[in-house]
Homo-oligomer: A and B are copies of this chain.
Amino acid sequence: MARSQLTADDYIRGIRAGNRVMLGRAITLVESARPEHQALAQAVIADLLSTAGGPKTALRVAITGAPGVGKSTFIEALGMQLVEQGKRVAVLAIDPTSSVSKGSILGDKTRMERLAATEQAFIRPSPSGDSLGGVARKTRETILLVEAAGYETVLIETVGVGQSEIAVHRMTDVFVLLLLPGAGDELQGIKRGIVEMADILAVNKADGNRAGLAHQTLAHYLNATHLLPAKASGWTPRVLACSAQDSTGIAAIWTAVLDCQQHALQNGYFQENRCRQAQYWLQEALESGLRSAFFENPRVKAQLAALEPEVLSGRLSPFAAAETILGSFLPAKDTPR
């Protein structure tokens, strides 16, 4: 396959030139479990980040909400407006369930038919993976690639049921939560803590005979947000209504997103937050890498197999067993006795 003969340089030049095919292939490398693909992906990313004057970067926006709230329709409506303003928009997703449900999010590109057909938009379904950590990491690296390819706005969609929102919150600048008219947090299937993350709350489906209910919901959340603890960014969450289907209220939501970004840029929170996020991902990568190296080490495996039965039977303390196993793995010079 021609693909496997591409060098890091081919990818780098292609992505810098905004070549969508090369971008797509580089993302496939990021998503691959094969060590040689990983090495190539890391080389490409390292080069793209090390440009003079610092790497290109985009505004990273989380779009979340419970299933059925209309996330795809919303992203299509928003994406088309941004494209019409001459922006280049990338749409990514984090859906740790997609390996089971075979790509419930963005898998079916027909849900974003117009946007998918637009040259200035790049849509990529959620990577698959058996753990949220793995899926999230791939999306985090993909952000770097689409930014290097010149997309100024990255929209990241999630399934809206908890853990993936925490992950997306750790890689975005602005967090938009879509709400259904009528139902309360719990009924919408929104897990605790998600509303607290939101910078913008948007009651979708404010159209037809649901408009009245949507405005009641708006009023409810307007009251509720006053009760929430103040955000670290100093930003006061905005509550708005829209209809993704009719494409109304979308521009106002985008204005709120840009206001939120401006607010954070001005008070320094934007950069602070990006630093904290980078630090989080570094810590995460160190800990998960350390764990895999340890538990996949042949000596550790052998000792664990030998000592675990003793621990399970109560004849050996778990802590004593742990000390022995750690001793066989850790570099001797680092564990003076």
Is A9 close to B, CB under 8 A?
no
Answer whether residue A219 sits at the interface, using C-beta atoms and an 8 A cutoff. no
Bound-complex Cα distance A282 to B308 (A): 8
Checking B140, B311, B331, B335 against A329 with a beta-carbon cut-off of 8 angstroms, the contacting residue is: B331
Question: B49 and A322: CB pair below 8 A?
Answer: no
Whether, in the assembled complex, A315 has its beta carbon less than 8 Å from a beta carbon of chain B, the answer is: yes
A12-52 interface bits toward B, Cβ cutoff 8 Å, 1 = contact, 0 = none? 00000000000000000000000000000010011001100
In the complex, identify which listed stretch (A150-158, A209-217, A271-279) lies at the interface while the others stay far away: A271-279
How far does the Cβ of A194 sit from chain B's closest Cβ, in whole Å?
15
Q: Do most interface residues of chain A lie in helix, strand or loop, or is the interface mixed?
A: helix
Residues A55 and B314 in contact, CB atoms below 8 Å apart: yes
> With an 8 A cutoff between CB atoms, is A293 at the interface?
yes
Q: Compute how far the CA of A25 lies from the CA of B321 in the bound complex, rounded to whole angstroms.
A: 23
Distance to closest chain B CB from A69 (angstroms): 24
For A275, what are the chain B residues with a Cβ–Cβ distance below 8 Å?
A: 312
Once the chains bind, are B308 and A279 in contact (CB under 8 Å)? yes
**Inter-chain contact A317/B286, CB cutoff 8 Å:** no
A269 within 8 A of B: no
Is the Cβ of B50 less than 8 Å from the Cβ of A318?
no
Q: Across the interface, do B315 and A282 meet the contact criterion of CB distance under 8 Å?
A: no
Q: Quick check: is A294 within 8 A (CB to CB) of the other chain?
A: yes
From residue A12, how far is it (CB to closest CB) to chain B in Å? 14
A186 at the interface (CB under 8 A from B): no
Q: Which residue of B lies closest to A292 (CB)?
A: B326
A208 smallest CB distance to B (angstroms): 37
CB pair A49–B317 under 8 Å, yes or no, is yes
Most buried by B among A45, A144, A293, A297: A293
10 residue pairs bridging A and B, Cβ less than 8 Å apart: A42-B317, A42-B319, A45-B320, A54-B313, A54-B314, A144-B317, A279-B312, A281-B318, A282-B318, A293-B334
- Told that A274-B314, A282-B311 touch, could you supply 14 new A-B pairs with CB distance under 8 A? A45-B319, A46-B317, A49-B316, A54-B313, A141-B319, A144-B317, A278-B311, A278-B314, A285-B318, A286-B325, A286-B326, A293-B326, A293-B334, A329-B331
Pairwise interchain contact A45-B317, C-beta atoms closer than 8 A:
yes
- Bound Cα distance A54, B310 (Å): 11
Shortest Cβ distance from A84 into chain B, in angstroms?
A: 29
Check if A278 sits within 8 Å of B318, measured CB to CB.
Answer: yes
Closest chain-B Cβ to A198's Cβ sits at a distance in Å of 21
Q: Given the complex of chains A and B, what is the CA–CA distance between A293 and B287 in angstroms? A: 12
Q: Which residue of B lies closest to A286 (CB)?
A: B322
B42, B49, B318: the one within 8 Å of A315 (CB): B49
> Please, which residues of chain B bring their CB within 8 A of the CB of A278?
311-312, 314, 318
Binary B-proximity of A108-127 (CB < 8 A = 1, otherwise 0): 00000000000000000000
